[in-house]
Amino acid sequence: MVPTQYYLVLSAILFGLGAVAFVFKRNIITIFMSIELMLNAVNLAFVAFSQAFGKVEGQVFVLFVIVVAAAEAAVGLGIIILIQRNRQSLNIEKVNLLKL
């Protein structure tokens, strides 16, 4: 079988890449997708621990995370459409209402 550590390292790498994408990308939709990538990385760690301990609680939590991600996608994409409608741009630099 595959050692648990391998899954955890993969999860850390995916989370790091998601964080990098979140900071470096300039398109709102891509930034939103990098959040989904980070959620996926956390799900992988949940399932890996669930298998390591032989308990299914981790998989139940994964279901909750997926539900939250779906709700978040519905609301977030609505907000993105509103931003595009109001600013005619998807560049995050143009959304600076709260910037000093």
Partner 1 sequence: MSPVLLIFFVLAGLAVLGALSLVLQKHPIHSALSLIVVMVCLAGLYLLMGAEFVAAVQIIVYGGAIMVLFIFVIMLLNAGAEERTDFSKLAKIAGLPLALALTASIAAAVVKPDPGVPAVTQVVIPNATEKISSMLFNEFVYPFELTSFLILVAILGALVLAQREKK
User: Which residues lie below 8 Å from residue 79, measured CB to CB, with a gap of 6+?
Assistant: none
CB nearer partner 1, residue 36 or residue 98: 36
Smallest distance from the beta carbon of 27 to partner 1, in angstroms?
5
- Tell me: does residue 99 bind partner 1 (CB under 8 A): no
- Tell me: does residue 85 bind partner 1 (CB under 8 A): yes
Dihedral sign from CA coordinates of 72, 77, 17, 62: positive
Size of interface with partner 1, in residues (CB under 8 A): 74
- Tell me: does residue 87 bind partner 1 (CB under 8 A): no
| Cβ proximity of 29 and 37 under 8 Å | no
The footprint of partner 1 on residues 4-63 (CB under 8 A) is 4-21, 23-27, 29-30, 32-34, 36-37, 40, 43-45, 47-57, 59-60, 62-63
49-65 burial string, b = 16+ CB within 10 Å, else e?
A: bbbeeeeeebeebbeee
